Homo-oligomer: A and B are copies of this chain.
Amino acid sequence: MDTNRMMSLAALVKARNAGKAGPELMVALCRDAIARKDERIKAFAHVAEQPAIQANGPLAGVAIGIKDIIDTFDQPTGYGSAAYEGYRPRVDAAIVDLARRQGATIIGKTATTEFAYFQPAWTVNPHNHAHTPGGSSSGSAAAVAAGMIPAAIGTQTGGSVLRPAAFCGVTGYKPSFRLLPTTGMKHFAPSLDTVGLFAAGVADVALLAALLTGRDLAPLAGEPAFDPSGIRVGLYRCAQLETADPAMRAALDKAADRAADAGFDVGEIGEPEALALACDAHSTIQDHEAGLTCGPDLARYPDLLSPVLTQTIERGQAISPSDYDAARRHAKRGRGATRALFSEIDILLTPSAPGAAPHGLETTGDPRFNRLWTLMGTPAISIPGFKDDSGMPLGIQAVARFGQDKRLLQAAAMLETAFRT
């Protein structure tokens, strides 16, 4: 067990602003933690030998790990693939440039599954090394969970932010589609690929998102306290909820109770048929786009891609445009149904994953509870706090209407406290 000493980004920034720690020391703490822990956790694909430490900027001294499907000009970017071993992009990805412009230190590249798909990395779950950390942002979640770094960048095309966050007991936030730029990431399915953030708690991802985007996403000084009484929270009774583990179903019920105790207006909400159909449409859209997007990799490096990736690219290339168009129509109808759903509630609660992190490192778990919200482009966050009988973390996913990222983060901050009581 390497957790319980997670670093809070917000607390670090506060300490720095109070003159209690300088950027050099803050980064040195992380380098030391990585040196002590990463041999076992294997969260990093590469650690910067002499990371650039900036004296100024709101993120000065904040060491951030970058998922290794995201380009960095000063560190190798391997996309989790033998085909890109030692690859050195010319320039940073847009999200990395944003982080540097705010003063952050890019401390290393975090392990990813191959092309952010299903072929696992070597990372283990900090809560139990025999369990998967989830994927595809495996190293991003594990590095934060193990207390090596205060924040990491990841991406989600199916469930690659929410699921590893839940399995590792950290906060994982997938913003509204396009809130964070994707240029310079290794795309898999461009209409789904979303950049997301990992940190210890909700306040940490909110602060990071606010600084990266320049948007009003974190509580401002003097802002009135968040009042949950007018916020309608809906426990989502979708059909696949029956397929979740008993421990997860119990945690979700408990989450609803705690939300009510905290003063939210809690109810239940059913699954519109259009959303069930949209959920099913996700794989057709993803695979067709992966056939186009990763086709060039398969053509160039046929012997260096894993069988599972090769099969998916080939399956995607065989999907007809009319099947793809039909899936896109289901997605469009689903977005209409999502808007209608979020006229009845403000925050939807659903599992971040079917249960806790599965035993074994051969798979990274199942994104079935995440795909829909990736396709809908709605902001979603995995809130930790619950555990199963063996002490492994269980994540509760909160979702809000497209563009309502601030409301989601405010509600999640209060839910986070409620879940822990």
Neighbour of A214 across the interface among B215, B300, B321, CB < 8 A: B321
Whether A98 is near chain B, meaning CB under 8 Å from some CB there, is: yes
> Contacts A87-B90, A300-B90, A300-B92 hold; do A295 and B73 have CB atoms under 8 A apart?
no
Q: Using a CB-CB cutoff of 8 Å, which residues 176-233 of chain A contact chain B?
A: 178, 181-184, 187, 190-191, 213-215
Which of A94, A101, A191 counts the most B-chain CB atoms under 10 A from its CB? A94
Cα separation A46 to B181 with both chains bound (whole Å): 31
Neighbour of A296 across the interface among B87, B93, B190, B300, CB < 8 A: B93
Q: How many residues of A contact B (CB 8 A)?
A: 36
User: B214–A295 contact, CB under 8 A?
Assistant: no
Whether A320 is near chain B, meaning CB under 8 Å from some CB there, is: yes
Chain B positions within 8 Å of A183 at CB level: 187, 190, 292-293
> Contacts A98-B292, A292-B94, A293-B94 hold; do A190 and B182 have CB atoms under 8 A apart?
yes
User: B214–A297 contact, CB under 8 A?
Assistant: no
* Copies per assembly: 2
User: A91–B321 contact, CB under 8 A?
Assistant: no
Whether A174 is near chain B, meaning CB under 8 Å from some CB there, is: no
Chain B positions within 8 Å of A91 at CB level: 296-297, 299-301
Neighbour of A320 across the interface among B98, B190, B214, B320, CB < 8 A: B214
Chain B positions within 8 Å of A31 at CB level: none
Whether A84 is near chain B, meaning CB under 8 Å from some CB there, is: yes
User: B299–A181 contact, CB under 8 A?
Assistant: no
Neighbour of A321 across the interface among B101, B215, B301, CB < 8 A: B215
Whether A97 is near chain B, meaning CB under 8 Å from some CB there, is: yes
Query: Which residues of A pack against B, CB within 8 Å?
Result: 73, 83-84, 87, 90-94, 96-98, 100-101, 178, 181-184, 187, 190-191, 213-215, 289, 292-293, 295-297, 299-301, 320-321
Supply 20 further A-B pairs (C-beta < 8 A) apart from A87-B90, A182-B190, A214-B320.
A73-B296, A73-B300, A83-B90, A91-B299, A91-B301, A92-B296, A92-B300, A96-B296, A97-B296, A101-B295, A101-B299, A178-B191, A181-B190, A181-B292, A183-B190, A183-B292, A183-B293, A213-B321, A214-B321, A215-B321
